Structure formats: C-alpha cells, structure tokens
Structure 1
Amino acid sequence: MDPSYLFADSDLSSSVCDPAPAPDRCPADVVALRRLSEHLGALLSSPELGFCSDARITVGSAATGDPPREVHVHRCVLASRSAFFRERFAQGATELELRDLVEGFEVGFEALGAVLDYVYTGRVGPLPKGVCECVDEECDHVACWPAVDFMLQVLFASATFQISELVSLFQRHLLDILEKVATDEMLDILRVANLCGKTCSRLLLKCVEVVVKSDLDNVTLEKTLTSDIVKQIMKSRSDAGLHGPEGLGFPDRNVKSIYRALDSDDVELVKLLLDEGHTSLDDAYALHYAAAHCDSKITKKLLDLDRADVNRKNHRGYTVLHIAAMRKEPSIIVSLLTKGARASDLTSDGKKAIQISKRRTRYIDYEKPNQQGKASCNDKLCIEVLEQRREEMSLPLAMMSGDLHQRLSYLEARVTLAKILFPKEAKVAMDNAHVDGTLEYTSNLPTSNQRMAVDSDRTPFEMKDEYISRMRALWRTGTLTLETFKDSTALF
C-alpha cells in the first residue's frame, strides 16, 4: 500500500529535527536533507553496513509461529532521537527484547520497522505490502483489521519510544477513519489510546464517545476495558438514557453465576445451575460468552451438553460462529460446525462468518504457504475451515471387519504423521474427535491372552470395544482433517 494513500505530503516529509522547511530555503538544502535521510536510512536497511551497528532488538512472533527476528540498530542514532532509548542505552543495554520494551499491546516486526525507519530518516516509508491488507477482495483496506492493527502497533510503539511526531501522525489518521472501523475493533483502539496516555487523549475521548452510542454490550465492555473506562461509558450511557442492546435487566444474578462458573472452567457447576431451572444456556447466551472469553476446551464441553441452540443470535445479531470467527479460534469453529452451526447466517450488517474471518486476516499470512512440521496461522486455518464443504462421514462397515489390529495400526500411523507434518491442524481435529478419551493402540501390544492375564477384570469383548472407540475417534480425526484442511488431504 502506498503511504500517500494514508498520509498527506506534509506528513511524509515531517522530521523531528526540521518539521517545517522555511519558505525561502533553496532547493540545494532540500536535496542535501533528502540525501542525509537516505544515508541514515541505509544504515538501518543495508546488510553491507551491518558492521556499523552496536545494538540489536529481538522481535518474537507468537502469532505466526515464526522464529524470532533481529533488528540491528545504532545506539547513537536512537539515543539522539528518543529519550526512551537514551535512558536504556545509558544503562549499558545493547540487546533488547521488543516484548519487554512495549508491554501491554503486541507490536510486530513490520511495525517496529516502520517506527525505526521514521527515527532514522524522518520520513514515513512505504507501508509493508500485504501487512495492512486483509483477504477480502471487496475491501478497500482503509479500516479493515490488518490496517487498523498495524496503525495501532505503530502508534503504541511510537508513544512508548516517545516519538511525538509519529504519534500525532497516526493518531490523526485513526481519527479520520474511526467511523469506518468495525464496532468490536473500536475497543482495541480505545484500549491502545488509553495505554498511550495523554499523547492520545483526543483519540481516547472520541473512542469513548463512539462506544457510548454503539451496540456493544456491558459484558463485553467489562471483559475488555479497564474499570475506570467502563464506569465512564456506563455513566455517559445513563446520562443519555442509553443502556446497551441487552437492556437494564441483563445479565441478572443467575446469568452472572453461569458466567462465573465458565470463567472458573467449571462446566459441572454450569450443569448444576442449569438444573435449578432459573435460566438456560440460550437465555444466558452462555455459548456466545464462552466462545468470546473462555478456553476452547470449555466451549467444546459446553457444546457437548447439547442444551443450546448453536445458531441462536445474541442481542447484537451475532451467532456463536460469528463470535468464534472474530476471535480467530479454529478449534471452536470446527466444534460449532460439527454441531450444526450454519456458516451462511448473516450478522445484522450482512456479513457471514467467512467474511468476518477474511476481514481480520492479513493478506501476507494467508498467502504464506503452509510448511510441513510447522504450526499454521490461526487466521488462515479459520478461513480454510469455513471455506471447506462439510459432509458428515460415519465409520464404514469395512473398517469394522477384518484385522482390527492392522486397521488400527494404519490409522494410528496416519494420525501420528499428521501430528508431525501439520501439528496445529491435527490438534484441532483430534480435540474435536475426542481422541484423548480413548485407549491408544500400539503394534507391540501383548496378545489378548497376555492382556487378560494382566487385566483379569476385563473381558475380550470389552478390550475390542475399547479399540473400536479408538478407531472411531481416529477415523473421525481423518474425516475432520479431510473436510476442513485442504493442505493435509493427501494424508487421508
């Protein structure tokens, strides 16, 4: 994406040392400054000048699973441009971890590169291709999540490093596009603006104003924002006669009890509360809550109770599948589809779950080929799952006959290979097939007579039944893999 698409020419030429050239400056001075900017930029970007660096910043990549990357920097440049780095280097630091520098919001390699490029050159360079663009071909990439997320990362890093001009630049652009940002993503902007403090006070006030008038429910606000911000929003809503989409009576005491049980990962307590008859999973929108805020295993346990409508919409018009797509959790999406969730259902603003996933996925991550043996990106997996045609397949009769040990050995080998080549895809499929609850089969198991001698309380029929359960789970693993992950189809 061309930087001129986001910023005016005056923004691109801004500089810490000389923010506004004098009108009477001769062209030779402008050329000299541009050449200085280019030479300083070469220090950062040119591998041939790597020997000049005397410090480095290591950037992890928990989201994509890639190995850490290093950026070689120059203490004299950073210290002269940033009081934050000046203080760090004055303490003798030469090896820095980015996650330790910018705590509270994850900043990626590309965003760090954009900030450092500005520090060295005084100019906003071209935005990294594919990083600020989503997968949806119909999107103009002005306010989709990848574009917003990148700007938030640059904003937060700039505020942390005390690069005031860059903070002002990106705050101004976020204010310009705020009305186009998805409602749920407004909370992320608000949270980062709050973390940035006084430097982003304008952005914070505008975000609060938008959220007050939005359909964001109180439960979501309380789970996402700090208590002082939530109180401010609640008071503003009350003063304006607004009470959120759920009304004044929700959540009541019984619903809150279910939410607390889910927060404690206690599904058994949820069952007890439901048995009391004061509320239901549907009335409490418990599946929506679990999909948004709980571990995926808790959501699957809740689904296995078979006491909720997986296609029920909440007060805002979202199904559980819509929320799982926003969270970018493939395991929950597979569980929901297995239970009959409709991928064709629309939100109140006309979006399907697949469109939500595409708008929240960076193009660069989606286009990156899957590598055997390495965990795939959650964002891409969600899109693949929602794009695949789902057909329920049962265990064929042929699998139930013949040499049980031979068939089990084959399936164990296939699933084991899948775990090695496609670890994340295999884990999602195995979790949803409940493989962990079955008895693992190995080819060197003792014979039936030997086994009976050891476990005299088990009959041969029970032993065979255990392995058939294992076979069903392994076969279901293969089926889910076939249906949802196209890159691993050859294994099954």
Structure 2
Amino acid sequence: MAIQSPPLTFTDSDNSSVIQYIDNPHLLTQLPNDPSTTALRLLSTNLETLFNCEVCSDGTISAASSISSSPRKIPIHKCILASRSPFFKELFGGGDTEKGKKDDYEMRELGKEVVVWYESLLVVLGYLYTGRVGSLPGGGICVCADTDCAHVACRPAIDFQIEALYTSSVFQISELVSLFQRHLLDVMDKVAEDDILMIFSVAHICGIGCEKLRSKCEEMVLNSMIDSVTIEKILPAEIANQIIHTRSVCKSQLLSLPEENSKIDIYSLPNKHIRRIHRALDSDDVELVRMLLKESPSTSLDDACALHYAVAHCDSKITNELLDLGLANVNHRNARGYSVLHVAAVRREPDFIASLLAKGALPSDVTSDGRKAIQISRRLTKILDYNRPMEEGMQAHNDRLCVEILENAETSHPILGEGALSLANAGDDIRSRLLYLETRVGMARLLFPKEAKIAMGLANVEGTMELALYNDNQDPAVDDLNDTPFKINQERLTRMSALSKTVEFAKRYFRRCAKVLDELMMDNDTIAFRGTETSEEKQQRKKRYQELQDVFSKAFFEDKRENDLSSISSSCSSSSSLGHRNSKIARR
C-alpha cells in the first residue's frame, strides 16, 4: 500500500501569515528577495543546522515514537528555546545545572494531559528553531490504512494535528496554536463524529487560545448523533452537563418535528433502571446486572444497550461475562445505528472484536452512514502500523490485529467445533493429539504472544489443567503426558477440546500466524511421541523439543521485557478510543 502524505497549508485566523509544509526546500527561493527577507531566511537556515543536533546542545526532550519501541530524544539548545517560548524561559530560568551536565526532560512530564508523540514534538520544536513548519512526518504516520481515504481528517491525521496543537499551547506559541486551530476548523466537516469529542477535549485543555475550535466542537456535538451517555463519559463534567441540558431543551422542540424524531432517543438520558445496570457494569458486577434484570423484567440488556456500554467502557473480562449470560443480541443496534461490533472497532481492542465475532457478530453490518466495522478500523489505523513487518516473537500492534481479525472474518465462515474429538478416540491417539496441540499452542504463545492470548481466551483454555510434555520436576499441579499407561479422563478431554478450539480460532482470525505454525509443525515427526520408542529415541525427541523451546523462549522473554518497559513508560490505556473523563488523552 503506497504511502503519501497530503500537502497541507495553514493560515492563522487573521490571514496575516502563512506556514506551509514544504516538501521541496528549493521552493523557499520563490519568497520575496528584499534584504530583510533574505536576512531572515539566512537566519532560519543557520538555526536549522542546530535543530535536532548534538552540537552545542545542553539538554534533551524525549517522547515515545511511532517507529521505535523506546522513547527518542531530541537534543535542545536552551538559549534558543527560551528566547522563543515563555514556557521554556520559565522552565530554564531557575535551573542549577552543573557545568557540562545536560538536562533531560520528558514530554509526558512537560505536558501531562495529552500523550504527545515524538513526531508531533519534532514539528513544533522545529518551528521554534526555524520559524517554519517543515514537512509532514513521513512513513505513514499521518496516513490511515483505508485506500479510499484522502488522509485529511482520518484519525492518524487528526492525532498529529491535535498533538501539535496541544504542544504549541503548552509551549505558549500563540501563533502556532492559531495556525493548527485554523486547519482543524477547516476540516471539521470531514471529521468522524467519534473524533469530535477527542478534539473537543483537547481544545478545552488548550483554553482561551482555542476558543473558536471549542465553540465549533460544542456546536457539532449538540447536533450530532453521539448519545448522552458517551458525552458524559468522555467530556469534562461541566461541559457534558451543559450540552445535556441544552439537548433537553431542544428535545421538546424535536417532538413537533417528525423528521427529527430519530434524535429524541439520542438526546435523552437513560431511565433510572438502565443507569443502575450501567453502574453495575462500571463496578464489574455482572451478578448485580442479573439481579437487576430479574427485578425489572420489562427492561432487557438490549433495552439498556448493555453490550454496547460494556464494549465501550468496561474491560474484556466483564464484556465476556456479559456475553456468557446469553441474554443479549450480539447484533443489536443502539439509537445511533451502531452494532456492538461497530463500537468494538472504535474501541480498537482486538480481544473485544474476536469475542464478538465468536459469538456471532456480523462483520457485514453497516452503520447508518454506510460503514462496516472493517472500514471504521482501517480509518483508525496508521498505514505505518498496518504495513509494519510482523517479526516472530514480537508483540503485534493492537490496531493492526483489529484490522487483521475483521479482514479474515469477512472472508471466512464460522466452522467452530471441528477440533473437538469424539470420545470414542482412545489410547495413544489421544496422547498424540494432545502432544500435537500442546506443542502447537506452546509455540504460538512464544512466537505470537498477543494473538495466542486472544485465541486461548476465546477457547477458555485458562480454565483447564495444563499438560506437560516433559515434567522432570514432577510438579503435582501439572498433568504429565508421559504417564504410562496413559489414562483418559475428563480433564484431559476438556483440555484437548479447548486447545483444538484455540487452533481453530487462530486459523480463522490469524491466518498469518497459523501459516507459520503449520510449517513448524511439519517437523512434528521429530518431536512427536508415536506410541513406542527406545530410550535413545526418547532422549533425541526431548533434546529437539528443548532446542525449539530455547529458541522460542529467548524471543518471548526479550519481547516480555520490551513490553514491560513500554507499559511503564507509557500511560496509554487499553482503551484506545477516547478515554474517560479526567484521564490523560491517549491515542495511537
């Protein structure tokens, strides 16, 4: 998929200045050639030689990067930044830095309300050095995975703009705030409704400098199909209450307009009983939900849009428990016309999407504006993440997995259940099957940890007893496949069924991974138990398996260490949608 960043031009609200993303530096020669302009151009060019350069630098600012697993540092020159920004002048003014020692700053500490990535920070700091906004970040950072998108108002493009807007506000660069605000205002009519709340939240944080953008967002939210519960969850309390109050006033007017009746349910707050169900879900209490349904039989989970609510605002455990009740229609639509799967696509969590598909959610369902879940997911996913090489043993990106699961779901048919073996199968056939499944799933956990976790969760593997291929330590909590004679019991049959379903789910939703594992398991004759073998053959089989385990374990623990560091250094929540009120706004 080709990567091409759209050319963007920013003008401030007074049209008194123009800043362009200039892909060709020679275009600068077309500027007026009077002496003052030439001198300014020369000054800008000279200062640009110091930007992102270690020469004479006396500090760094680090931020998480889209193209690197660890934060990247930008060398800074305090005197330049202090002369251009009141924020940096105050930050550096009272420092007692030892001579020759550089100060290291983290962007997450300088701006705590919004997650700002390296690529956005680089553009804003570049402006402080040169007075120009350089080229858009390359590599597909501002481009989504939808080939039909113009990449002007998709989520990756909006993410970059609001991060740059927020950073400009934090650094108190008023002219840059005006420029980014103006561009966002120009594209607001193209922005997806789900992204308006995110822009609204950032504009509110930026304060008076973004009043025009804030007013525009408020107007659009008031007239949107975004439900009042979502507004309550996402926006600050004072803003949410104001919008909901204004909507309640408008609701009485809508009653006299038949063509607007579709908005009445959207504008309304849920009744008391439905709100109690939502609060029970917030408290992770599915049993209380069951009790509330018995207390008021006239209100169903579908009436409360409980699945929509859980997928949007709760964790996967609560959502799966709600699904397991079997009392809700997984394809039910809310007042906005969204199915539960559409909400899961907005949430951008692959385990939610996989769980819903496994329960019969239809990937072909479209929203009221004609979008399927796969289209929603692609518009939220950077092409950089979509095309990123998938290395064995490395954690896959959530957005990429969401797209992959939905793509595979659209081209496959649910044929689950083939993995369960008949109880008539006995003896060594059962042992061989178990050995194959344990080996395959064990390799999947090492090579594709995130995908394996999702597939195993769908198959409820966690609730079965682990079977050991080699139990040298005689751990009593682990069942040993090398028992002689091999006994068939319910625990082993349950484990075999769960592992079979894991393999089936993986082949359905993660074909890329399944293909790699198929090739690896072709070496099954080397490590598989075939009923009878000499002591030497057993040792050779065990040695070969241990070699494979060592290779995979190394990849697994390297990835685990990287993932642990990432979770410590980033405040990005598992919910990549919009976050909750008062939480740090995290995207990507």
Whether TM exceeds 0.5 here: the answer is: yes
Map 1:50-449 onto structure 2 (within 5 A).
50-60=54-64, 66-92=69-95, 94-129=103-138, 130-241=140-251, 244-246=263-265, 250-276=269-295, 277-388=297-408, 389-390=411-412, 391-393=414-416, 394-395=418-419, 397=421, 400-403=425-428, 404-445=430-471
- Greater CA deviation, 5-14 or 432-441? 5-14
Query: Match for 2:76: what amino acid?
Result: V
Of residues 403-412 and 482-491 in structure 1, the stretch that sits farther from structure 2 once superposed is 403-412
Query: How far is 1:221 from its partner?
Result: 0.4
Cα separation, partners in 2 of 1:329 and 1:451, compared to 1, 3 Å = closer
Identity of aligned residues (%): 48
CA contact (8 A) 1:65 1:375 kept: no
Structure with a larger share of its residues in helix: 1
| Contact 2:5–2:151 (8 Å) recurs in 1 | no
How far apart, in 1, do the equivalents of 2:228 and 2:149 lie? 30
Please list every run of 5 or more consecutive structure 1 residues that lacks an aligned counterpart in the other structure. Answer: 15-23, 455-459
Corresponding residue SS for 2:51: helix
The aligned amino acid for 2:203 is A
AA aligned to 1:482 is K
Instruction: Please name the residue that 2:526 is paired with.
Output: none
Q: Which runs of 4+ in 1 moved over 6 A?
A: 460-463
Distance 1:280 1:3, change over 3 A: closer
Aligned equivalents of 1:410, 1:288: Cα separation in 2: 39
Bigger mean CA deviation after superposition, 438-447 or 286-295? 438-447
Partner Cα separation in structure 2 for residue 414 and residue 313 of structure 1: 38
Instruction: Using CA pairs under 8 Å that are at least 6 residues apart, name the structure with larger relative contact order, 1 or 2.
Output: 2
Write out per-residue CA displacement over residues 127-177 of structure 1, whole angstroms, 9 at most, x where no aligned residue.
Answer: 012111111111111111111111011001110111111100000111111
Q: Which amino acid aligns with 2:135?
A: P
Q: TM-score, normalised by structure 1?
A: 0.89
Letter in 2 for 1:261: A
Q: Secondary structure at the match of 1:369?
A: coil
Give, as a single letter, the amino acid of the residue that structure 2 aligns with 1:5: L
Task: Give the CA deviation at 1:451.
Answer: 7.6
For 1:463 and 1:280, the matched residues in 2 are separated by 43
Could you tell me how far 1:236 is from its partner in structure 2?
2.4
Give distance in 2, aligned partners of 1:148 and 1:263: 30
Q: Which runs of 5+ in 2 are unaligned?
A: 22-30, 98-102, 255-262, 480-484, 519-588
Aligned partners of 2:461 and 2:499 also within 8 Å? yes
> TM-score of the superposition, structure 2-length normalised?
0.75
* Partner SS state of residue 343, structure 1: coil
Instruction: Work out whether residues 370 and 487 of structure 1, in 8 Å CA contact, stay in contact via their aligned partners in 2.
Output: no
Call closer, same or farther: CA 1:447–1:196 in 2, change over 3 Å: closer
Shift in alpha-carbon separation, 1:477–1:52, aligned structure 2, 3 A: farther
One-letter amino acid matched to 1:392: I
1:306 shift after superposition:
1.1
C-alpha distance in structure 2 between counterparts of 1:25 and 1:379, whole Å: 46
1:207 Cα deviation after fit: 0.7
Letter of the structure 2 residue corresponding to residue 362 of structure 1 = K
* Aligned-partner Cα distance in 2 for 1:3–1:355: 20
How much has 1:481 moved relative to structure 2? 1.5
| Superposition RMSD in Å | 2.8
Contact 1:282 1:312 in 2 (8 A): yes
Is 173-182 or 269-278 further displaced after alignment? 269-278
Write out per-residue CA displacement over residues 62-121 of structure 1, whole angstroms, 9 at most, x where no aligned residue: x88822222221211211111212222234371111111111111111111111111111
Q: 1:298 to 1:30 in 2, by over 3 A?
A: same
- Equivalenced residue count is 472
Q: Distance in 2 between matches of 1:322 and 1:245?
A: 21
Q: Is the 8 A contact 2:420 2:497 kept in 1?
A: no
Question: What letter is aligned with 1:274?
Answer: L
Q: Over residues 406-452 of structure 1, what are the superposed CA-to-partner deviations in whole Å (9 max), with x where a residue is unaligned?
A: 4323322222222222121111111111111111111345999x989
